[in-house]
Amino acid sequence: MNCGIPADAVKLIEELKPLVKNAEHRIALGVPATALAAAVEAAAYTNIKIAAQNCHFEEKGAFTGEISPLWLAKMGVNYCIIGHSERREYNAETDETVNKKALALLKYGVRPIICCGESLAQREAGETFDWIKGQIVGAFKDIPADKLCQITIAYEPIWAIGTGKTATDEQAEEVCKFIRGVIAELYCPKCAEAITIQYGGSCNAKNAAGLFAQPDINGGLVGGASLKAEDFSIICNA
């Protein structure tokens, strides 16, 4: 929850623009809802896309306080992060609501970034893979294969978020590879190639290159390090 005041978001984008001008990766900035409009405008005609951090799964209706996926589409917001562990913990986000949100976003052409991840307790109890599989299968219910190219999966082990304790390259690769396998099972091996899988959780300027070099990690979902243009640009150019 940062840079929610439009001017702050715009400031970050303006600082970031020249630093990532020649980046090879696709870049998206996840912005709080209050700053979305200003961010979309500030990032227009650049290689920085804008992501919302949550949305509702209904297009319209009596849902005071919620954000319709159709609005995001009409505003030109390119992506929407759904199922972030913080929302799963504090806002009663379930696999079912994540799935409904994904379907709604795909309906209007907003690309979902679907988050999954296990807690420290689950990792220590050896439940990581079962847990992740449940999250993925739940999130992808009824999503057709031809939409996979529009979807990103972000693996964020909860014990690595905001703790400074990053997963090792091997740990991250292990789970991302597993996730790709789950997609291959649900759809087909070739389909699994189409989907982008990111790692998140204390991803920073120092560890980004190592993480991105892993065969099944296509990128990063960056939290704290994205608040400083300088640091984030190092990751973007990694």
Partner 1 sequence: MAMYDKKSVEDLDVAGKRVIVRVDFNVPLDKETGTKITDDKRIKGALPTIKYLVDNKAKVILVSHLGRPKNGPEAKFSMKPAADRLAELLGQPVTLAADVIGEDAKAKAAALKEGEVLMLENVRFHKEETKNDPKFAAELASMADLYVNDAFGTAHRAHASTAGLANFLPSACGYLIKKEIDFIGGALDNPARPFVAILGGAKVSDKIGVITNLLDKADTIIIGGGMAYTFIGAQGGKIGDSLFEADKVDLAKEILAKAEEKGVKLLLPTDTVVADAFLRQLSGMALQAFSSSRSSQLVQRLSLRQSLMQTAHRSSAAATPQLLSRSSAMLIRFLTSPQAAALLSSTSRVRFSPVSTASTTRRQAESLLQATGR
Q: Which residues contact 46 (CB under 8 A, 6 or more apart)?
A: 17
Of 7, 120, 121, 149, the one binding partner 1 by CB under 8 A = 149
Of 5, 7, 63, 74, the one binding partner 1 by CB under 8 A = 74
Active site residues: 84, 156
CB 208 within 8 A of CB 229: no
Minimum distance of partner 1 from residue 157's CB (angstroms): 29
Asked if 76 touches partner 1 (CB under 8 A), the answer is yes
Of 84, 100, 101, 111, the one binding partner 1 by CB under 8 A = 111
Minimum distance of partner 1 from residue 73's CB (angstroms): 4
Asked if 2 touches partner 1 (CB under 8 A), the answer is no
Pairing of β 196-200 and β 219-221: parallel
- Give the residue among 154, 175, 35 at the shortest CA–CA distance from 102: 154
Which strands, in side-by-side order, build the sheet including 219-221?
27-31, 48-52, 79-82, 111-116, 152-155, 196-200, 219-221
Asked if 90 touches partner 1 (CB under 8 A), the answer is no
Q: Which helix (H) or strand (E) holds 180?
A: helix 169-186
Surface-to-core class of residue 214, CB atoms within 10 Å of its CB (0-12 exposed, 13-18 middle, 19+ buried): middle
How many residues contact partner 1, by CB under 8 A?
A: 20
Minimum distance of partner 1 from residue 223's CB (angstroms): 25
d(CA 222, CA 229): 12
Of 85, 135, 150, 218, the one binding partner 1 by CB under 8 A = 150
Minimum distance of partner 1 from residue 101's CB (angstroms): 16
Nearer to partner 1, 22 or 64 (CB): 22
Q: In the structure encoding, which two tokens stand for residue 105, read together?
A: 């976003």
Of 146, 185, 193, 230, the one binding partner 1 by CB under 8 A = 146
Of 7, 89, 109, 209, the one binding partner 1 by CB under 8 A = 109
Q: Which helix (H) or strand (E) holds 156?
A: none
Nearer to partner 1, 107 or 206 (CB): 107
Nearer to partner 1, 159 or 232 (CB): 232
CB 71 within 8 A of CB 40: no
Binding footprint of partner 1 on the chain (CB under 8 A)? 22-25, 45, 47, 70, 73-74, 76, 78, 107-111, 146, 149-150, 194
